[in-house]
Structure 1
Amino acid sequence: MNTVAVVGAGAMGSGIAHVFALHKFTTVLVDIHQDQLDRAMQTITKNLDRQLAKELITEEEKSAALNHLSTTSSLSEGIASADLIIEAATENMHVKQEIFQTLDQASKPEAILATNTSSISITALAAETKRSAQVIGMHFMNPVPVMKLVEIINGYATDAEVTSIIQQTAEQLQKIPLVVNDYPGFVSNRILMPMINEAIYTLYEGVAGVNEIDQIMQLGMAHPMGPLRLADFIGLDVCLSIMGVLHQGFGNPKYAPCPLLVNMVAAQKLGIKSGEGFYDYQEGPKSQKVSRQFE
C-alpha cells in the first residue's frame, strides 16, 4: 500500500490526506473544485504548522509531508495509480453511489475502495461496483490529525484480507483500528447520535437550557464536550442525515429526529459551519431563543 487517493477535499478529506502524507504515503487529494483544493492545502499547511509549534513533528517531517501530497481536479487522473482510494464526499447516498460507480470504472482492478461515511451502508455502496470484496468502510474521526480511532466497517462481501490490509494501514498512520459490521450507524453513530438527539429533545421540551445540558454531561459524565456543542461541531445537517439513516434502517420510532433539529436544519442553522446552531459563536449559548420557539 504505497499510493493513496482521497476523493473530496472538505474537512474530513483534507484531514485524511494530511495524515497519509505525514506518514510518507504518496497521497493525491482529488476534488472537482479547484478552490476547495486550494483551501484544503491552506488548512493542511496550517495544521502541520500547529503540530510543528507543539513539537509533535519536525520541520523535516512537515516538508516531507507536503512533498508527499499533491492535488488534482481530475478524478480519473487522481485515482489511476492508487492502491487505496478513500471517498470522503458529502454524506449523501446518491452522491456516494455515483462516485463509487466511477471509482470502480476508473481505478486499477486491484485497488481497494474505501469510504469515510459515518452511517451509509458499505454493502449498498459495494453493490455499485464489480469488486464488492474490495470495498470497506474507513471511518476517521474529526479532527483527523488528532483523533486516534478509525472505525473499520466490513460490508457483507468484504474480503478478510482486505480488512487486514486496512487495519495494518490504519496502524501505520498511528491510529487505532476497530472492526465492526455494516448495520445502520455502525457502532459510533448508532450510540452517539441518539444521545445527541435526546439532548436536543431535552432542550425542545424545556427540561433545561443549552448551557445546563452541556455542562451536566461534561461535569457529571466526564464528556470532553457537551452533546449540543458537539452537534454544532459535527454539523446539524449531518446529525439529521444520520438520524434519518438510523430511523429508516431500523424502522424504530426511537430514532426519529427531534422536530427542533429538523427545523434548525431547515432554517440553515447548522452549527459552526454556518456560524450559528445551538450556540451563537459570537454571543454564546442561545438556550432561551431556541426553546421559546416551541412554548
Structure 2
Amino acid sequence: MTSAAAPPAVVGVIGGGRMGAGIAQSFAAAGSSVAVVERDAAAAIAAHDRIAAGLRQVAERGGLDETAARDAAARVTTVTSVAELPGDAGLVVEAVPEDVALKAGLLAAAEQAVGAECVLASNTSSLPVTEIAAALKRPARFLGMHFFNPVPVSALVELVTAPDTSEETLRSAIGWTRALGKQEIVVKDSPGFASSRLGLALGLEAIRMVEEGVADPEAVDTAMRLGYRHPMGPLRLTDVVGLDVRLAIAEHLHTTLGERFAPPRLLREKVSRGELGRKTGQGFYSWR
C-alpha cells in the first residue's frame, strides 16, 4: 500500500475553468506552487480570482485558517502559454474540454516545456488515454487523473493507466492523490473508465424515465437519495456536471460500447435549447 506523499513542489494546470481551478486550488492548499495556463490575460485573471474565492470559501467553512488560505492563493500564478509552464514542474494536469486532439496537442506542447521526469496527466472523464498518450514522446510518464466536481471537496480521483504508463508514474500519482486527502481507484484505459460508465448508465436511464413520463425529476432523484443513499440524485448531478458534458460522453460511449448508451431525445433537445444545467441557470432544475 502506497503511503501518502508530499504533493509535487511545483504543479502546472492547463485550463482554469471550474475543474482546472479546483485542481489548482487543491494542490495549492496542500502546499504546491501552481502555475495555471489560460488562453489570454483576462481568462487568467478570472482563473486566479476563481481559485482565490474557492480558498476563501474553504477558510470560511473552517477547512483552512485565513492565513493559510491567503498563502495558498499567493502560491498560484497564471500564464497564457503552455510554453511558459515551469521547467521544474513535477506534475502537469490538463483540464480542458473533452476533445482528444485538443488535449493531446496541449500535453505534447507541455512535454516540451518541462523536464523529462515530469508526470503529465489528463483530467478526461471518458476519452481514451491511450490515444492521448500516442502524441507524447514519453508516454511512460503519462496517465489519466480524473478528478470529480467540485474538486476541493470530492474524495475520489480515478487514475487511468495506458499500456505504456510506468509503475513509477502510477506510484507517484497515488501518493500525490493521497497527499491531497483523496482516495484513488486505479483502472485500465477503457471507454468511460469505471466512474463515467456507471454514472452515465444511471443518468441516461433517469432521463429516459422523465422523457417517458414515468416520474418527474424530483421524484427520480428522491428515489435514489432516500432509497439508495446517493448524496445527490442522477438528474441534479447531470445539471451540476453539465448536460452538454453528459451528452458528449454519451455519444462517445454510444460509438464505442453500443446502443445502451444512446443519448435520449430529451437530453439532445435540452442541449440544443442551451439548457445545460447549473452553468446556464436551467437544466432539469432551475438554478436561477
Once residues 123 and 211 of structure 1 are traced to their aligned partners in structure 2, the CA distance between those partners, rounded to angstroms, is: 39
The counterpart of 1:192, out of the listed 199, 217, 226, is 199
% of aligned pairs identical?
A: 37
Query: Are 2:240 and 1:233 equivalent residues in the alignment?
Result: yes
Structure 2 unaligned residues grouped into runs of 5+: 1-7
Written as runs of structure 1 = structure 2, the 5 A alignment for 1:59-98 is 59-98=66-105
Once residues 241 and 219 of structure 1 are traced to their aligned partners in structure 2, the CA distance between those partners, rounded to angstroms, is: 29
Deviations 1:144-202 (A, max 9, x none): 11011111111111001100011001111111111111101111011001100000000
Query: Are 2:279 and 1:273 equivalent residues in the alignment?
Result: yes
Match in the other structure for 2:270: 264
Q: Say if 2:160 and 2:189, in contact at 8 Å, map to a contact too.
A: yes
SS of residue matched to 1:268: coil
Match in the other structure for 1:291: none
The Cα of 1:205 is off from its aligned counterpart by 1.0
Q: Say if 2:85 and 2:110, in contact at 8 Å, map to a contact too.
A: no
Once residues 273 and 40 of structure 2 are traced to their aligned partners in structure 1, the CA distance between those partners, rounded to angstroms, is: 26
Q: Say if 1:24 and 1:64, in contact at 8 Å, map to a contact too.
A: no
- Which amino acid in structure 1 is aligned with residue 157 of structure 2? V
- Which amino acid in structure 2 is aligned with residue 149 of structure 1? L
Deviates more, 1:258-267 or 1:94-103: 94-103
Deviations 1:187-241 (A, max 9, x none): 1011001100000000111111122111122222211211111101100010011
- Which amino acid in structure 1 is aligned with residue 271 of structure 2? V
Match in the other structure for 1:293: none
Match in the other structure for 1:176: 183
- Which amino acid in structure 2 is aligned with residue 144 of structure 1? V
Deviates more, 1:97-106 or 1:47-56: 97-106
Written as runs of structure 1 = structure 2, the 5 A alignment for 1:13-52 is 13-52=20-59
Once residues 88 and 172 of structure 1 are traced to their aligned partners in structure 2, the CA distance between those partners, rounded to angstroms, is: 20
Structure 1 unaligned residues grouped into runs of 5+: 283-295
Q: Say if 1:10 and 1:40, in contact at 8 Å, map to a contact too.
A: yes
Once residues 166 and 12 of structure 1 are traced to their aligned partners in structure 2, the CA distance between those partners, rounded to angstroms, is: 18
The Cα of 1:273 is off from its aligned counterpart by 1.1
Match in the other structure for 1:253: 259
The Cα of 1:79 is off from its aligned counterpart by 4.3
| TM-score under structure 2 length normalisation | 0.94
The Cα of 1:80 is off from its aligned counterpart by 3.1
SS of residue matched to 2:85: helix
Paired positions, count:
281
Q: Say if 1:23 and 1:173, in contact at 8 Å, map to a contact too.
A: yes
Once residues 241 and 79 of structure 1 are traced to their aligned partners in structure 2, the CA distance between those partners, rounded to angstroms, is: 32
Deviates more, 1:138-147 or 1:38-47: 38-47
**Which structure exhibits the higher relative contact order, with contacts defined as CA atoms closer than 8 Å and separated by 6 or more residues?**
2
SS of residue matched to 1:263: helix
SS of residue matched to 2:19: helix
Once residues 150 and 185 of structure 2 are traced to their aligned partners in structure 1, the CA distance between those partners, rounded to angstroms, is: 18
The counterpart of 2:112, out of the listed 101, 105, 116, is 105
Once residues 51 and 171 of structure 1 are traced to their aligned partners in structure 2, the CA distance between those partners, rounded to angstroms, is: 19
Q: Say if 2:48 and 2:77, in contact at 8 Å, map to a contact too.
A: no
Match in the other structure for 1:243: 250
Once residues 79 and 98 of structure 1 are traced to their aligned partners in structure 2, the CA distance between those partners, rounded to angstroms, is: 18
Once residues 92 and 264 of structure 1 are traced to their aligned partners in structure 2, the CA distance between those partners, rounded to angstroms, is: 21
Deviations 1:49-93 (A, max 9, x none): 222122211122112212221111122112433221100001122
The Cα of 1:271 is off from its aligned counterpart by 0.7
Q: Say if 2:130 and 2:189, in contact at 8 Å, map to a contact too.
A: yes
Once residues 99 and 42 of structure 1 are traced to their aligned partners in structure 2, the CA distance between those partners, rounded to angstroms, is: 23
Once residues 164 and 222 of structure 2 are traced to their aligned partners in structure 1, the CA distance between those partners, rounded to angstroms, is: 43
Runs of 4+ in 1 over 6 A off after TM superposition: none
SS of residue matched to 1:280: coil
| TM-score under structure 1 length normalisation | 0.92
Deviates more, 1:32-41 or 1:10-19: 32-41
Once residues 91 and 224 of structure 1 are traced to their aligned partners in structure 2, the CA distance between those partners, rounded to angstroms, is: 26
Match in the other structure for 2:4: none
